[in-house]
Each structure stands twice: as structure tokens, then as C-alpha cells.
Amino acid sequence: MITDSFDNQTEAIIEPQRNAGIPSVDVMIITFSYIIEEYIKEHFNCTQIETLFSATGLTPVYQIDYKGKKIGFYKTYIGGPGAVGLVEEALSKVDTDKIIMFGGSGCLDKDIARGKIVIPTEAYRDEGTSYHYAPAADYITLKNSHVVADFMKQAGIPYVLGKTWTTDAIYRETRGNFEKRKQDGCIAVEMECASVQAVCDFRGVEFYNFLKSGDLLDAPEWDPRSELGNNGSQHDPRYFMMALDLACFVSDKPIR
């Protein structure tokens, strides 16, 4: 069974290796948005420092010098396996001990406005990848949620803390499963949080995550809430600016 998949007693057959002399950044930022990636390349002085390879194509890793910090960033794949695979590849090619990931999420609570920041405290593990990096459990804890909340509070950015539902099956978010997760306290649904927290815990890397509240499931019919275009969507560059300032906020914090 998938709940028996965690094996930390034997060696991995394929293990990503960190080479000597690789570039180093203070914090790595992960985005999902091609629009934000293009915005960054147009509005910042970016240097490509590495390339991640896969059968679907090349993923460039860039560096920005921002407020005296070296910040890396790349655009990742949607879903736990792809996102985790690129985290593993990135950690083997770029030296860092802190990762920030931000992206969109479905909303399980109609009282949470479109575009509001959601800071996950725990992620329901309705996916497969995390079970290879952490012992089986229903939830994994986002141990740095309080750090992200401290930053948002200091920056004067409204946010809400709560559980998220990480799923592999975007088109199987059934009404019954929605009700179970909402009753359990979940306020968002996405596809990577549990997986990336698990790999970061396994590799000894600090993980900081925030979500943008998007389409609404907590309604008689699904509501995409897309009437404002990119303003307040996961493609809004303001969320990247939040991630940059969060990177500066966490860059000097010790590894726990």
C-alpha cells in the first residue's frame, strides 16, 4: 500500500548528487506562472545560473540581487511529482537551504476573498509523492507557517491561516471529498504543498509557502472568480514581490 512506501533504511537507486563549486543563493523562490517568469525577466536584472533538465524541456534557474541578497528563482511544474523532481534537481545544482513557493489555490470557504493570502499550517496528503519522503499520516505540518505569518503581519498584508488539501486529481475534487476536507478545517486546495514540504523536511531545507485564494468550491456551483483578469490571480506580479521581500525576511533566520 502507498502508506507503506516510506523507506529510510535502504539507499535510493538514483540519488541526486551535489557537486562542488555550484552556485549559491540565499533563498530559492519557486513560481508556477509563466506570466510572472516573463515579468521577472523583463523588469529585473536576471542572470541564468543553472538549467534543470527533463523530457518536457529545459527549466532555467535565475538569480536576482535584491536588497543585498542573492535570490534564485525558477518556474516549476504543476503537481507534486514534477514540483518535487525539480526541487531535487535544483538542490543538486544550486546551493541553498531555504525555499519559498507561492501559487494559486482553490478556495473552500466562501468568506475568503479572491486574491487573499492563505498561509497553510498543515497539508492533507491526498497525493502520492510525500509518502516516499515522510512516514504515513493524514497531514504534514508546515512548520514555518508562523514565520510567513510574521512577515505578512509586519508588511501589513491581510492573510488567513489554515489547513490545505493537497490533491493529485484536479478533476476529482468531488462534492463529498470537499465536504470532508472542509469539515476537517481545510480552507484551500492545491496540488504541491504536502509534497514539497515532505521533500524539504527530508533534505533538511526550510520551506516557506503561501497561496493566493482563487476559484471558489464553497458554492452551489463552481465559481472561477476570474472577472478581474490577472489582477489578484496567481499571475499577478505583486505576489512575486511579496515572495522577494519574504526571502529577505527569512534569509538571516537560522536553520532549525
pLDDT, residue 3, reads 77
The model's pTM: 0.92
Which has the closest alpha carbon to 141: 157, 118, 121, 119? 121
Record: fold of 23-251: Rossmann fold (3.40.50)
State the cell numbers at 156: 501589513
**DSSP H or E segment with residue 189:** strand 186-190
Mean pLDDT by 10 residues, the chain (256 residues): 85 87 97 93 95 93 97 97 97 97 87 80 97 97 98 93 95 90 94 98 98 64 52 73 96 75
Cα 181 from chain centroid (whole Å)? 20
Q: What is the pLDDT of residues 52-111, one digit of tens each?
A: 998 889 999 999 999 999 999 999 999 999 999 999 999 999 999 999 999 988 888 877
> From CA 42, how far away is CA 61, in angstroms rounded?
15
State the cell numbers at 154: 509586519
Q: Using a CB cutoff of 8 Å and minimum separation of 24, what contacts does 147-155 make?
A: 147/208, 147/249, 147/250, 147/253, 148/119, 148/208, 148/209, 148/210, 148/246, 149/119, 150/249, 151/245, 151/246, 151/249, 151/250, 152/117, 152/119, 152/210, 154/249, 155/242, 155/245
Instruction: Write out the DSSP string of 196-221.
Output: HHHHHHHHT-EEEEEEEEEEE-SSSS
Alpha-carbon distance values, 171 to 105, 174, 177, 218 (Å): 14, 8, 12, 16
pLDDT, residue 27, reads 98
Tell me how long the chain is: 256
pLDDT, residue 111, reads 76
**DSSP H or E segment with residue 177:** helix 175-183
pLDDT, residue 225, reads 47
User: In terms of DSSP bridges, do strands 117-126 and 159-167 run parallel, antiparallel, or are they unpaired?
Assistant: parallel
